[in-house]
Structure 1
Amino acid sequence: MYSKSLPELASQFVSYKKANGYQYETGAYYLKKYVRFVMETAPETAVPDKASVEGFLERLQDTPGGLYNAAAFLREFSRYLHARGLKAYLIPSGRLHPPTPAQPYFFTEDEIIAFFMECDRMPDTPYLKGRHLILPAIFRLMYCCGLRCKEARTLARQNVHLDQGYLDVLQSKGPKSRRVYISQELTEYLAGYDSRISRLFPDRTFFFPNRKGRPYGACWLERNFLRFWY
């Protein structure tokens, strides 16, 4: 254990979390950023220490949500190392406070109608295969079922059961999964979407694939939401 480098320890920790049923994509993202920061600034660092942790968190001061998430995952990583006899720096409890949530905005009925009218005007762009079909469908699914962005983006085709009117969301928050039932109207809409998108991606794994057959990224969804909204 003591002979492992920091990148190896971080990779081992992520594998440990996944073996315990967690997808741990966000945690892996922040740990990878931390390891990269350490390799660039203090490559001799073997385990998280106060200087490297605080230096990394200092870079996230302008993004409260990212700062809080990074600190939570680093604290979890250090606890894992402590349990294995390594003296990693543990961020003190109360050192950081959760960011203040943004106030929700409640759409009017006219705004909702206008938003989906803009979605449906999305042109068919050959080099962005299927985007004009995917955007109206993914936003309708999120709106009607209350799915999180990631849940909609990474939804597997095999977990959408339109013949029975439900979809399965697997391992969304931690290892938890749930079944979501959808209305007849939405089922019919998604069936039409599924038929059309299948002509472009006949063997797709994801219900909403990008042009390479992978899930779209969070920034892509946010960017297009704002485009339609504005």
Structure 2
Amino acid sequence: MKLSGINAYLIEQYLAYKRNIGYTLSSTSNFKIFDNFTVKNGATSVGLTKELAEKWKEKRPNESDVTRYKRVNDIANFCIYLNQLGYQTYIPRLPKNYKSTFTPYIFSKEELASFFSACDTIKVHDKSNMKYILPVVFRIIYGCGLRINEAMSLKNKDVNLEEGYIIVRETKNGGDRILPLSDSLITICSQYKNILLLSNESEGYFFIQKNGNRYASDTVYKWFRKVLWKAGISHGGKGMGPRVHDLRHSFSVHSLAEMSRKGMDLYYTLPILSKYLGHQSLEATDKYVRLTSDMYPELIQDVNKLSSYLFPEVKQNETD
């Protein structure tokens, strides 16, 4: 991909950064389109002015809502990156009329028990660290509601087993998060650490290959499919799930249901869950209210009262 605009070098740097932290970036065409856009419009400063951001956001002839949303979202994330580097740039707002129709797969507690049992017993080549990682990585993704890249980016310094918390750094929406570990997670992480991380270099990755590098998210996903098969949980095919990310969705729904069962006021707990997950807004967390009401009908009355009060109309689902 040859780039020639004012942002060319920084786009290449941004894409390299994303790949280094585990994103596959199967398509980078939006960045080429953006580069051509800045050249065509005579941009002379890094990033976007408000005028150019609004122009970039405009819907193009014959462009679907999904394509438009992804095009704007890619460059919005790039502009966030530029701001973090110290460049002042306007961040284009995401289109409000895009609504994803994707429904996450929510694991039942019984399915999770079978899944984690399969993680513990699946056959892995003796020379691979994956045999030690599988029993831990999916439990920590579910137990802490992590995105897969957040889990794979954890370093030894981020996992404090003595005080029982992890620090999730450089998250998708910016900022760090400190998340507590349950007693069972502390136990299994300690067992893993004692076997594989005896040197305990603070800057080393917590989930490491034999050569010390972090595992790519794609590699973890391939093992996820194998574990699903062993656990007897059917997969709907490409794009249908379950996906690794559905462990995070399941954590959110199960947490919300448990809080409701304990009589906690969802008006106050939703913002806490939103911050815990690293969402930028409550609207992104609201979908879990709806999923919880679908899975746990006994909670639907309280959930609907809260949902209608907080979010009378949600026109956009944010990608979490």
Cα distance change of structure 1 residues 205 and 148 upon mapping to structure 2, 3 Å threshold: same
Q: CA deviation at 1:121?
A: 1.2
String of CA shifts for 1:194-218, please: whole Å, max 9, x gaps: 111125x765711111333222222
Is 2:24 aligned against 1:25? no
Determine helix, strand or coil for the equivalent of 2:7: helix
Question: In 2, distance between residues paired with 1:93 and 1:198?
Answer: 42
Of 1, 8, 11, 1:10 maps to 8
Q: CA deviation at 1:97?
A: 5.3
**TM-score, normalized by length of structure 1?**
0.64
Aligned-pair identity in percent equals 22
Q: CA deviation at 1:77?
A: 6.2
Question: In 2, distance between residues paired with 1:138 and 1:13?
Answer: 31
Paired residue for 2:118? 118
Question: In 2, distance between residues paired with 1:213 and 1:189?
Answer: 21
Paired residue for 2:129? 130
Question: In 2, distance between residues paired with 1:209 and 1:67?
Answer: 37
Cα distance change of structure 1 residues 194 and 77 upon mapping to structure 2, 3 Å threshold: closer
**Aligned residue type for 2:103:** Q
Determine helix, strand or coil for the equivalent of 1:167: strand
Question: In 1, distance between residues paired with 2:40 and 2:7?
Answer: 14
Determine helix, strand or coil for the equivalent of 2:146: coil
Q: CA deviation at 1:155?
A: 0.6
Question: In 2, distance between residues paired with 1:210 and 1:47?
Answer: 41
Question: In 2, distance between residues paired with 1:48 and 1:181?
Answer: 47
Cα distance change of structure 1 residues 12 and 105 upon mapping to structure 2, 3 Å threshold: closer
Paired residue for 2:109? 109
Paired residue for 2:169? 170
Q: CA deviation at 1:179?
A: 0.5
Alignment of 1:1-230 (within 5 A): 5-6=4-5, 9-12=7-10, 25=18, 33-34=28-29, 47=38, 49=40, 64=66, 68-74=69-75, 94=95, 98=98, 100-127=100-127, 129-198=128-197, 203=201, 205-230=204-229
Cα distance change of structure 1 residues 205 and 77 upon mapping to structure 2, 3 Å threshold: closer
Q: CA deviation at 1:188?
A: 1.3
Moved more, 173-182 or 213-222: 213-222
Q: CA deviation at 1:107?
A: 2.0
Question: In 1, distance between residues paired with 2:24 and 2:106?
Answer: 32
Cα distance change of structure 1 residues 92 and 213 upon mapping to structure 2, 3 Å threshold: closer
Paired residue for 1:87? none
Q: CA deviation at 1:157?
A: 1.0
Determine helix, strand or coil for the equivalent of 1:25: helix
Question: In 1, distance between residues paired with 2:171 and 2:93?
Answer: 28
**Aligned residue type for 1:215:** R
Determine helix, strand or coil for the equivalent of 1:168: strand
**TM-score, normalized by length of structure 2?**
0.48
Q: CA deviation at 1:134?
A: 0.5
**Aligned residue type for 2:204:** T
Question: In 1, distance between residues paired with 2:77 and 2:104?
Answer: 30
Paired residue for 2:312? none
Cα distance change of structure 1 residues 222 and 49 upon mapping to structure 2, 3 Å threshold: farther
Q: CA deviation at 1:223?
A: 2.0
Q: CA deviation at 1:189?
A: 1.3
The runs of 5 or more residues in structure 1 that have no matched partner are 18-22, 85-90
The runs of 5 or more residues in structure 2 that have no matched partner are 42-55, 230-320
**Aligned residue type for 1:34:** S
Q: CA deviation at 1:5?
A: 2.8
Question: In 2, distance between residues paired with 1:165 and 1:109?
Answer: 24
Paired residues of 1:10 and 1:77 also in contact (CA < 8 A): no
Paired residues of 1:68 and 1:99 also in contact (CA < 8 A): no
Number of aligned pairs?
193
